[in-house]
Amino acid sequence: MKKVVKFGGSSLASAEQFKKVGDIIRSDESRRYVVPSAPGKRFSDDIKVTDMLYACYDEAKEGKDFGKLLDKISERYQEIIDGLGLSLSLEDEFKTIGEQFKAQAGSDYAASRGEYLNSMIMAEYLGYEFLDSAQYIFFDENGVFDGEKTQKVLSAKLAETERAVVPGFYGSMPDGSVKTFSRGGSDVTGSIVAKAAHADLYENWTDVSGFLIADPRIIDSPKNITTITYRELRELSYMGATVLHEDAIFPVRKEGIPINIRNTNRPEDPGTMIVETTCVRPEYTITGIAGRKGFVSINIEKDMMNSQIGFGRKVLECFEKHGISFEHMPSGIDTLTVFVHQDEFESKEQAVLSSLRHAVSPDTIELESDLALIAVVGRGMKATRGTAGRIFSALAHAYINVKMIDQGSSELNIIIGVKNDDFEKAIKAIYDIFVTVQL
């Protein structure tokens, strides 16, 4: 058994958290490759080290004295080193960072030092080899992750390395400069390392015990999801569920490596297993509910629309021309509705409407703003009759008017459109009908 383990910022925010992580790694010899994030918040009003680094670099870029800010960052790390009783010194590293900041090495370089330094401490603490991600994870000249080169170089290195710590979040450009993934990118690094190591399991440790069926800010103590497929996770992540960086799915999915989301503060919890496919029956008909507010619908009516070849293409070209992506496009015989993000659409509203009139000469165009989209996702829905009926019934009993319903041919998800004001109430109603009534 070979495992790659990634730990988030909250799991590594202090020496006390480091000790918890050390106990978790040492409790299982198969946890051979570790991917740390930068130190996160120690308490609610604290500042993440990555944000401190960004602020420090901004001062340097403006030619201001950034020494005090850099000293504060150094103190954060020294506090962890002292708390762990290590003899490690980062003095030379901070001297180099200061020089690079003065030379304006870039904000990517600045942000990456959080993971870089935390990984040096982790390697020292565990007695593992430290591998600088800049030497093993690569981007091409356009800043796009180079999976082929990374797999070749990193896989060869891990094959000869029994145990290692690999910093999350960054790699290097062809000229050797540091390039970061988007925020939360340590999840992606963990996935890349898992693929290169040909791991049996990728454990992603954070501050929650896996995925929840619904947002805990809306549902009081929602149930955990024990097993979820990659496809279900993709649907939920797209609609706002954010436990795992969505780009972290692809490297391990191609290799058939499961992901286990675990809680550093509750290591006894089994968490959520993310798998390609499974015969495990879900506990409930639905796997999860997620959604987002802030959409607008553009409803286009035209007699005999269905007989006009290329009508849908022409409509979508009007949005494409103005740089607006569409979310959903339910249609009838003489109607077609396009859902887009309201903040993208508002400033270009009249230009898009003018384009539509020129392109397809509609009989009428109606706009409705302040809409929310909710995704009800679950592999169990395919084998269960009446799922859509139960959703409609639950929403009707909650006096919620459904603006749109759209179900894909895979029967994996149902998308419901409601007013922004009904968003939370709708999620509660759907959760209750599928989960609460079965408890």
Q: Domains in the chain and their CATH numbers? A: 3-207 (3.40.1160.10), 288-438 (3.30.2130.10)
What tens-digit pLDDT sequence spans the chain (439 residues)?
A: 999 999 999 999 999 999 999 999 999 999 999 999 999 999 999 999 999 999 999 999 999 999 999 999 999 999 999 999 999 999 999 999 999 999 999 999 999 999 999 999 999 999 999 999 999 999 999 999 999 999 999 999 999 999 999 999 999 999 999 999 987 788 999 999 999 999 999 999 998 888 899 999 999 999 999 999 988 888 887 777 667 776 788 889 889 999 999 999 999 999 999 998 888 788 888 999 999 999 999 999 999 998 889 999 999 999 999 999 998 898 888 999 999 999 999 999 999 999 999 999 999 999 999 999 999 999 888 778 888 889 999 999 999 999 988 887 667 889 999 999 999 999 999 999 999 876 5
Q: What is the DSSP string of 156-183?
A: HHHHT-SSEE--SSEEE-TTS-EEE-ST
- What is the distance between the alpha carbons of residues 80 and 123, in angstroms, rounded to a whole number? 13
CB 110 within 8 A of CB 7: no
Q: In what order do the strands lie in the sheet with 404-407?
A: 326-328, 335-341, 288-301, 364-377, 413-419, 404-407
Contacts of 206 (CB under 8 A, 6+ apart): 8, 10, 11, 243, 261, 262, 263, 264
- Predicted model pTM: 0.85
What is the reported pLDDT for 282? Answer: 81
What pLDDT does residue 409 have? 66
Q: Looking at residue 438, what is its pLDDT?
A: 66
Whole-angstrom Cα Rg for the chain: 25
> CB 348: neighbour CB atoms within 10 A?
16
Rounded to whole angstroms, what are the CA distances from 46 to 79, 81, 118, 278? 15, 19, 17, 41
Residue 239: predicted pLDDT = 76
Write 320-326 long-range contacts (CB < 8 A, 24+).
321/355, 322/348, 322/351, 322/352, 322/355, 323/348, 324/348, 324/352
Nearest residue to 113 via CA among 149, 77, 157: 77
Query: Cβ-count burial of 223 within 10 angstroms (0-12 exposed, 13-18 middle, 19+ buried)?
Result: middle
DSSP secondary structure letters along 385-433: TTHHHHHHHHHHHTT----EEEE-TT-SEEEEEEEGGGHHHHHHHHHHH
Question: In whole angstroms, what separates CA 375 from the centre of its chain?
Answer: 17
